[in-house]
Chains A and B, each alone.
Chain A
Amino acid sequence: MERARFQYLARRAEPPKPLLSNVVRAFVAGGLISAVGQVVLGFFVGRGMSPEKAVSPTAVVMVFLGSLFTALGLYDRLAKWAGMGAALPITGFANSMVAPAMEFRTEGLVAGVGARIFQVAGPVLLYGLGSSFVVGMLVWIGLLLRYR
């Protein structure tokens, strides 16, 4: 059989990804996780913290929750249902560090946990920090030109 003909058949044989339900689930789950974050933020603000200052402890609590549910073996089940809705919040970032740390524990604390903990999160950090640096430089240059 011709390669092009086979590739056409193979594409047609693939069941479609459930795009609409994926989007709806991501919206609902992502919204719920964010709502939890909002409640936590409200708690710190209610204790007299300014909203700006309350952001950091809120992130810490959400990272803790993401790590806890990963360690309990529940976060991957949530993410299987919720997809991007579970991956995008900071709880998903915690999951992306704790999951490899748990997985590679058998290779030891240095070559296993230490070397692999950024396996998934590493690219996010590199390109997240890298692009914020580039944008920051552009803003800085823009401001210099404006106030010259």
Chain B
Amino acid sequence: MSRRAGGQTLALRPAAVVRGWSSVAGPMEGAGPLGERFDEVTPDDRLGERSVERAERRYMRRAVDLLLEKTGVEAGDVDVFLAGDLLDQLVTSSFTARELGLPYVGMYGACATSALLLGTGAALVSAGLVRRVIVATASHHLAAERQYRFPVELGVQRAPTAQWTATGGAAFLLEADGDGPRLTHFTLGRVQDMGLKDPGNMGGAMAPAAAHTLTAHFADSGRAPGDYDLILTGDLARVGHPLARKVLEEDGIELGERFEDAGILLYREDQDVHAGGSGTACSALVTAATLLPDLGAGRLRRALMVATGSLHSPTTYQQGESIPVIAHAVALEAAGHGK
């Protein structure tokens, strides 16, 4: 039976099984260091659609279809569809759910959505409430730009701290038993706010959330950083990631070489994405393209994915409010590990 371990962590007994995963990346993400590892890379990012919002939905839908193809599961055999994205009113998720016709919950956690979805889906499965859950997320650089920032053709210089919203979609199938990596712990974040106000430096703003959730995870689970082969943050990028490391070091937690960041891994430095990647698809793409396959193939034994999200809106920023941030973590391990 699942139980609460410590203040913020759900220890899932039995652990949920990640039966399958899929990733559909945009052209820039496909040209990055992980290009070979995505299931599909689209040749362009408009996908022939009349709006970028429609294109974003296509990424999510394609990821779900591909997941069903890869696992051989029929859509009708899925009990719940959990999805989240960055667009107002979660239109990408809800419109995709309209097409799928599955029982659906839309969840918003900004860029922390991937871990929020995986953890919630795993908890539902582990508790025996449902047998099979699909979780999916997508983001699109152009759709995020027009909602959060400027028209794309406007001539502006970005700050070196700015990040690049990833274009792509990823989906995951969670089941109560079967083959695949196990999702064993879900550490829910508490909203943090260190008073940073610049949405052009989200990695810096989110760093304390990652540090807080990691600290809570280790305290709650009784585990140490050394128990993991990989600790992957979602999208702190080149400014926020060293900052999170520094915060944890000052609190006496050394993460070492195993501490990596999806926002840094997703793009090459010469791809001109400034500090690195972000967006709900960032951590989801890297998890589906490297973390889970590596667990599945035994290249990793145990990994912790800590997705970080910035919970502001353009309105709150314009009204001078600081940026509330959150991080959710899911612990994953290879199928035979720990038995």
Contacts and interface: CB of A to CB of B under 8 A. Distances in A.
A1 B155 contact: no
A102 B151 contact: yes
Contact of B152 (A6, A14, A99): A99
A7 B195 CA distance: 8
B157 A10 contact: no
Contacts of B211: 1
Interface stretch (B65-73, B94-102, B201-209): B201-209
A100 B250 contact: no
Contacts of A16: 160
B146 interface: yes
Q: Majority SS of interface residues in chain A?
A: helix
A6 B155 contact: no
B130 interface: no
Task: Give the interface centre of A3, A10, A17, A76 by most chain B CB atoms within 10 Å.
Answer: A10
A102 B153 contact: yes
A1 B151 contact: no
Given A92-B155, A95-B154, A13 B243 contact: yes
Contacts of A10: 194, 196, 201, 204-205, 207, 243
Contacts of A18: 160
Given A1-B208, A1-B247, A3-B195, A14 B155 contact: no
Given A3-B194, A7-B194, A103-B146, A70 B153 contact: yes
B317 interface: no
A92 B152 CA distance: 14
Interface string A59-94: 000000000001101011011101100110000100
B191 to A, nearest CB: 15
| Most chain B CB neighbours (cut-off 10 Å) among A14, A78, A119 | A14
Interface residues of B, number: 34
A73 to B, nearest CB: 6
Contact of A17 (B160, B208, B239): B160
Contact of A9 (B157, B195, B243): B243
Nearest to B145: A103
A123 to B, nearest CB: 12
A15 interface: yes
Contacts of B151: 99-100, 102-104, 119-120
A41 interface: no
B157 to A, nearest CB: 5
Interface string A17-35: 1100010000000000000
Given A22-B157, A79-B155, A120 B150 contact: yes
Interface in B156-180: 156-161
Contact of A99 (B154, B196, B205): B154
Contacts of A92: 155
B50 interface: yes
A83 B157 contact: yes
B154 A96 contact: yes
B213 to A, nearest CB: 14
B97 to A, nearest CB: 22
Contacts of B298: none
A92 B154 CA distance: 9
Contacts of B204: 10, 13-14
B293 interface: no
B257 interface: no
B155 A75 contact: yes
A103 B155 contact: no
Interface in B78-107: none
Nearest to B154: A99
27 contacts: A1-B211, A1-B247, A1-B250, A1-B251, A3-B195, A7-B196, A9-B247, A10-B201, A10-B204, A10-B205, A13-B204, A13-B240, A13-B242, A14-B204, A16-B160, A70-B153, A78-B155, A79-B154, A79-B156, A80-B156, A87-B156, A95-B154, A102-B151, A119-B151, A120-B150, A120-B151, A120-B154
Given A3-B194, A10-B243, A79-B156, 9 more contacts: A1-B250, A9-B246, A15-B239, A76-B156, A98-B153, A102-B151, A103-B151, A103-B153, A106-B52
Interface of A: 1, 3, 5-7, 9-10, 13-18, 22, 70-71, 73, 75-76, 78-80, 82-83, 86-87, 92, 95-96, 98-100, 102-104, 106, 119-120
